[in-house]
Amino acid sequence: MKPIAHNGSVSEGAGTVLPPSGDGLGWLHLLVDQRFYPIFAVLFGAGFTLLLRSAGSRPVLVRRLAALLAIGLLHLTLLWPGDVLTAYAIFGLLVLLPATWLPRGVAAGLCALLIAGPLVLATGFYLLIPGLLMLGAVLTRYGVADRLDDLPPRVPALLFTAFAAAAVPLVWWQTTGIGFRWAYPLAGLAIAGAYVCGLLALLATRARGVLAPTFAPLGRMALTNYLGATVLVLIVSALAPGPSDAWGTGTVLGIAAAILALQWLWSRAWLLFFRQGPLEWGWRWVTWWRRPPLVREHA
């Protein structure tokens, strides 16, 4: 995957992504672009493993991945060529599913190879996805996901400090344009780790009372909101004057904030009456091959 330069052109990996003109879009590329998909890939691998634990049946996982592949292909062909669901489904079938037969120690070794290989060979972000999916699965198999709420607050705080300290020189390296193909993914992984550990550290404080109800509705309808965001962005792009590549920082942040606010309101309202988002419900139906309840009893 190639980064998009601040002027809308595609960088070939030789130049800086922080424009000397001071255009704030450069900071978006440093702090946002390709910084969140590692988080979602790890979470997907963890969720996959938790589902296997509860289902105890691999055909359930095959149906779930096949349904996700169908959704991803529709999204890819009809709406947005940058779809990631297709990759999750394909690599889930090719890597995650076979790895469920491996001892967890062997799976951990495979995970290390799948992450280190693309980083050393500079193959780009796309081929990092199998390793990140495996990382989520391995962490879950070792019980890390089960113990997150029991961690002492200093643990995520120390991890956040370590990731942030690593991210500073890596981001600077990225801005030099030297060795961009190595600096870009390394910086992305460090920043993603800092984001996750920083959030975990905040959740261990009184801020949890605000953060948990804020993120929960969006997380419970993640698939619906992911596809819905594509539709909303396409609508805004069609209505807004000028090409989207020419949008300034304020415009980009304003559109993103408005879409998130709209989706939060929509998710909160929907979940008052229904147990799951509409796409999550359909996905669950195919996964378990029986119709789950949708409407809440009090509704």
Tell me the C-alpha to C-alpha distance, in Å, between residue 221 and each of 93, 162, 224, 295. 23, 32, 5, 15
Read off the pLDDT of residues 198-224 as tens digits, 9 standing for 90 and up.
999 999 889 999 999 989 999 999 999
User: Is residue 33 very low, low, confident or very high in pLDDT (cuts 50, 70, 90)?
Assistant: confident
Residue 204 phi, psi dihedral angles, 5° rounding: -85, 0
Across the chain, mean pLDDT equals 87
What's the pTM value of the predicted model, to 2 decimals?
0.86
**3-state DSSP assignment of residue 11:** coil
For residue 146, count CB atoms less than 10 angstroms from its CB and return exposed for 0-12, middle for 13-18, buried for 19 or more.
exposed
In contact, 65 and 89? CB cutoff 8 Å:
yes
Q: Give the pLDDT of residue 259.
A: 95
- Across the range 240-253, mean pLDDT stands at 79
- Say how far apart CA 37 and CA 44 lie, in whole Å: 10
- Say how far apart CA 126 and CA 87 lie, in whole Å: 8
- Say how far apart CA 187 and CA 165 lie, in whole Å: 11
Q: Give the pLDDT of residue 7.
A: 38
- Say how far apart CA 62 and CA 154 lie, in whole Å: 39
**3-state DSSP assignment of residue 16:** coil
User: Is residue 140 very low, low, confident or very high in pLDDT (cuts 50, 70, 90)?
Assistant: very high
pLDDT greater than 60 at residue 289: yes
- Say how far apart CA 246 and CA 238 lie, in whole Å: 14
- Say how far apart CA 255 and CA 232 lie, in whole Å: 10
